[in-house]
Structure 1
Amino acid sequence: MPNLTELPSNTTSSSNLSIIVKVCVVIPLFVAFLYFIILTLYTFASHRQFFDSSRYILFTYMLINDTLQILSSVLLFLLVMGSVNFAIVYCAPLLFMSTATFLNTPLILSTMSLERYVAIFYPFHRPTIWKPEWIWVIILSLWFISCILPTVDFVLMRLKPGVDVYSTPVLCKTTVLNTSPIQSLFKVSLNGIFFAVVAVVILFTYIRILLETRNMRQDRTSVRKALHTVLLHGFQLFLSMMAFSQPVAELLLTQRVSLTQADMSFIYYFCFILLPRFLSPLIYGLRDEVLRSYMMKAMPCYATRVDPRKEMKTTKQDYNNCFCGFC
């Protein structure tokens, strides 16, 4: 009898410790990510010349989308960890924002790859739609496409009997809205098609730029840098696609490894949803020499050490020479 009464206490203590560890892992990275995002957006707002380049506009858009994705997903994570229940009418907007921004990420990656393709093959006769003053049309189109799937998801929503949208408190998870097997099958199929199309676009731009690198005799360095950028887009897309392998991994690993389903979900959430978005601004932002120099000057700890007489001035020619960006 004493052993039986001690077992629930030990289980509860272990569960609480697991929750504390998960929160302590996510929150510091989340704060560091927000600091970097605020610093980057401040740098963009302080130097208007960045908005004369489609590349930097798309990068800003990616930062804003990743910020919305992390804000919504981390809030949902904390609500689930705290077992906070509330009505679906308040839960639905969070799930909609989290899903839409998650799907928006591969669209942005493919668009940035196409922008590099256009910059390489049409440097002087760029199509109108890819010019900075028209790039907002592409951004609005990406938002529209990314909102289609969560909208259809909510239209097909079938709640359990006795659940009221306005009053019944529920745990805010996607499984609350996806209760129908047909709905789940439709969502998985549409996600597969969605990511396959994006993968083809990135693969096409990578192969075309790779062939161009071999053919060009001049300015091969710039083309090679663009090739590395597209390769990073493909790697980030791969990490995003790995998030869909969670059900299969749970079936294969939970029987062989002493991990609960909650722990497995957290590992996938951290590795394939949070981590790529934590790293993307560092990868793409710090690799750009022009942006990196401005960001360092904007940091308070760096600004106090800079001698104004020796401050390096980036000329317009230097700005244009950073042709392939994210280099």
Structure 2
Amino acid sequence: MVCKCLHIKLPLELIVNSNDLLFFNKILFGLFIVISICSFFYINCVLLFTLRSKPVFCETSRFILLFNLLFADTFQQVPNLLLYILACFNMTIPFDACGFLVLLCLATDLISPLTLAVMSVERYVAICLPLRHATIFTVSSTGMVIAVVWAFSFIHILIRVFMLVHTFTIIPFNPHMNDFCSKEAMFFAPIFNDFEKVYASILFVSVGLAIIGSYVGVALVATSASTDKASARKVLQTLLLHLIQLCLVLTSSMFSTIIIVIARTVRRLTILRIYNVCFVFLSILPRCLSALIYGLRDQTIRPVLMHNLCCGGRTSVFLNKSR
């Protein structure tokens, strides 16, 4: 009898302690991720403001493309944060509200990789075809390219909406969600898994080829004696960072698949920690690398950005005190 009582009591204590530890980890990781997103959001907003503070940033094609990339990444962080908070506290919302948040995330999901491809081609033209760069990448042509990128993103959203409507012609529509809001809960039919695989494969191959082709072209031109070695080396480093960023962005599309595979072999507390780490490094970090790649490495942007981040407020205070 004693053994049976101990056998029953011990698991109950473990369950209580496990629930308390799980709740503590939720709060701890939740605060960490909210602070991380808010910090990156602030840096991206300051960089967006910087890119509109001087005429040179508004009239140069690579800075216009960078603004588009940053705008899409910053815009996506807001619904991403809301979805994370809902998932963290197991909160359910109506299907319509969930669909709105998920579509906001997906609206800019295609912008980043396509803009990275265009930025890589622009750097290739700048190094390999310097005399034709000013005529190829004008303000108007860059604006047209950005419009095409956003049009592809809009088509991507329309395809998903039509597939979802078609799904509900077969499966009865339930306006109340039984689980917390996520892309996987929204697009639950098997057809979406096939679409996701085809979409990610085509996107990865096409954008990857554009970046790798630009890298190889710049590397070949860099060997010639007439090329500026320092500029070519810096462009090669930027293209390599673009390729890493692309890999992280496309890996985030397989985020749920990675978590499901890991969840089969580890405990719930461990999967929570892995989920939070993957969320930071696969969903947040790739969308914030642009500020580090260009904001800190570009000699034109860095002084203005650092002034806006650190010294702008202080200098204004000092100027007011001196008066």
Same fold, TM-score > 0.5, yes or no: yes
Change (3 A) 1:214 1:267: same
Cα pair 2:103 2:157 within 8 Å, conserved? yes
Shift of 1:70: 1.2
Q: Distance in 1 between matches of 2:48 and 2:212?
A: 30
Q: What RMSD in Å do the two structures reach over aligned CA positions?
A: 2.7
Alignment of 1:197 onto 2:206: yes
Shift of 1:280: 2.5
Change (3 A) 1:255 1:300: closer
Question: TM-score w.r.t. structure 1 length?
Answer: 0.83
Question: TM-score w.r.t. structure 2 length?
Answer: 0.84
CA offsets 1:56-88 (integer angstroms, 9 cap, x no match): 111111111110111121111111112221112
Alignment of 1:294 onto 2:301: no
Q: Distance in 2 between matches of 1:234 and 1:91?
A: 32
Letter in 2 for 1:278: C
Cα pair 1:153 1:187 within 8 Å, conserved? no
Q: Distance in 2 between matches of 1:253 and 1:37?
A: 32
Change (3 A) 1:299 1:240: closer
Match of 1:226?
235
Letter in 1 for 2:108: T
| 1:71-90 map, 5 Å | 71-90=78-97
Match of 1:44?
51
Change (3 A) 1:188 1:226: same
Match of 1:13?
20
Q: Distance in 1 between matches of 2:108 and 2:125?
A: 25
Letter in 2 for 1:214: T
Paired residue secondary structure (1:85): coil
Alignment of 1:283 onto 2:290: no
Gapped regions of structure 2 (runs ≥ 5): 1-7
Letter in 2 for 1:29: S
Match of 1:266?
276
Higher RCO structure, 1 or 2 (CA under 8 Å, sep 6+): 2
Paired residue secondary structure (2:174): coil
Shift of 1:244: 4.5
Shift of 1:33: 1.2
Q: Distance in 2 between matches of 1:264 and 1:174?
A: 19
Stretches of 4+ aligned residues off by more than 6 angstroms: none
Q: Distance in 2 between matches of 1:8 and 1:229?
A: 50
Shift of 1:254: 4.5
Aligned equivalent of 2:219, options 210, 214, 219:
210
Cα pair 1:88 1:170 within 8 Å, conserved? no
More helix by share: 2
Aligned equivalent of 2:156, options 127, 138, 149:
149
Match of 1:181?
190
Match of 1:317?
none
Gapped regions of structure 1 (runs ≥ 5): 309-327
Farther off after superposition, 39-48 or 261-270: 261-270
Q: Distance in 2 between matches of 1:181 and 1:9?
A: 37
Farther off after superposition, 58-67 or 176-185: 176-185
- % of aligned pairs identical? 27
Paired residue secondary structure (2:289): helix
Change (3 A) 1:263 1:176: same
Letter in 2 for 1:213: A
Farther off after superposition, 232-241 or 242-251: 242-251
Letter in 2 for 1:212: V
Question: How many residue pairs get matched?
Answer: 307
Letter in 2 for 1:43: T
Q: Distance in 2 between matches of 1:46 and 1:190?
A: 37
Match of 2:248?
239
Shift of 1:2: 3.4
Match of 1:312?
none
Match of 2:103?
96
Q: Distance in 1 between matches of 2:12 and 2:265?
A: 29
Match of 2:61?
54
Q: Distance in 1 between matches of 2:233 and 2:82?
A: 40
